[in-house]
Amino acid sequence: MDCRFRVGVLGRSICFSDRELEVAAIEGMARGYHPFPVAIYGPEGCGKTTLTRYLVHRLGNEGYLAIYLDALTEVPGKALELSPPIPQHVVEDALRSLSVPLSGVIARYAARVAEALWRRVKMRRGVVVVVDDVYRAVGLGAAERYTKALYEWVSRSAPRHGVKNLLVLLTTSEGVSKRLLARHSYVELYMLWNLPEKGFEEFVEQLNPPHSPSDLYTATGGNPRILIEIARHGWDHERVRRMYRDRIRSAIRSLGIPREKLRELARDPDADPETAAKLEELGLMIELMRSSALGEAPNPDPDLGIGTEWAWQTPLFRTAVLEL
């Protein structure tokens, strides 16, 4: 737990929890020459944004210029976070110097933004650029082109501008983009799973729950967003499950997935990869790609809805499906 980085949850400010393994892995990448953009995918709400914002804060204190771009925010001043902090007039001057329209998705110009900033700021160790939720913003049709262009940029630009190390991190919770990227050698793909039980306990205890952390772990599988949803509804996880059941019902009706197929996957997440892939597109299941886990891959556990190759993004979805 690192209380120097605080996260706003339900009107409280809590300490950043866990993720030591993931932080160590990415710090290792930042230290050496890392020519490939690193794409991180994981369940919705598992903590990708929080982890990357934490990394930016931390690396900014370790001699890097760390740039975080929220691809879904269209106002440049709000989409950009820098560590260490840089005077506002320097940032404005850097953005003005770009020959791009400064409305719309600033993430499209991530490379140019980074170059304009690093020309104005002294950094000892290198540059880290995070583009969060990028594929939803640039569009799936552009996912491969966008990532390839970043790869070309990393291999060309850093040496040319005398930047010692340049690491680009991209995040997505969107299943199709992950599948597109998995085919290519110009990007490294890593999976970030939900919080492990001990880390989840650290997180949840800061919210003074009326239930035991282990019961809440059984309900959420360590997904912090679902936990927050449960807390917001008076810690009534049955109610949240019913809400998801109704949402899932209307989503799967539109795809025409038979109920028996869902039940089969609720019993065994690996039973039907074709249907599991459709459910991945709805943000309900996810392909695990165990060898590419950024921290630890989750152990198979039928009660938590985790198989060998496929898993429910949170057990709450699995139990909701059983009630359909």
Ligand X SMILES: Nc1ncnc2c1ncn2[C@@H]1O[C@H](COP(=O)(O)OP(=O)(O)OP(=O)(O)O)[C@@H](O)[C@H]1O
- 126 three-class SS: strand
Among 9, 29, 82, 142, binds ligand X (CB under 6 A): 9
* Sequence-ordered strand ranges (E) for 93-193: 126-132, 166-172, 188-191
* Dist. CA 302–CA 308, nearest whole Å: 10
Nearest in space to 52 (alpha carbons), one of 22, 89, 13, 29? 22
Residue 50 interacting entry, from ligand X, Mg ion, none, C-beta within 5 to 8 Å by type: ligand X
215: helix, strand or coil: helix
Nearer to Mg ion, 83 or 275 (CB): 83
Task: Give the chain's length.
Answer: 324
> Looking only at residues 69 through 98 of this chain, which bind ligand X when binding is defined by CB under 6 A?
none
Q: How far is the CB of 49 from Mg ion (least distance, A)?
A: 3
* Structure token pair of residue 76: 């440049």
Among the candidate windows 43-51, 92-100, 106-114, 225-233, which touches Mg ion by CB under 5 A? 43-51
Using CB under 6 A, pick the residue from 133, 201, 280, 287 that binds ligand X.
Answer: 133
Q: Which residue has the tokens 């210029």?
A: 65
- Chain centre distance of CA 203: 17
Amino acid at site 318? R
73 near Mg ion (CB under 5 A): no
C-beta of 262: minimal distance to Mg ion in Å? 26
Question: Minimal distance in Å, beta carbon 99 to ligand X?
Answer: 31
Question: Among residues 48 and 261, whose Cβ is nearest to ligand X?
Answer: 48
CB of 151 to Mg ion, least distance (A): 23
State which of positions 168-227 bind ligand X (CB under 6 A). Answer: 173, 203, 224-225
Q: Which amino acid is at 176?
A: V
| Structure token pair of residue 135 | 């594929």
Cα 312 from Cα 285, distance rounded (Å):
4
Tell me the residue type at 89. H
Stretch that binds Mg ion, among 47-55, 73-81, 266-274, 291-299 (CB under 5 A): 47-55
User: Interface with ligand X by CB under 6 A: which residues?
Assistant: 7, 9, 14, 16-19, 42, 44-50, 133, 173, 203, 224-225, 228
User: Interface with Mg ion by CB under 5 A: which residues?
Assistant: 48-49
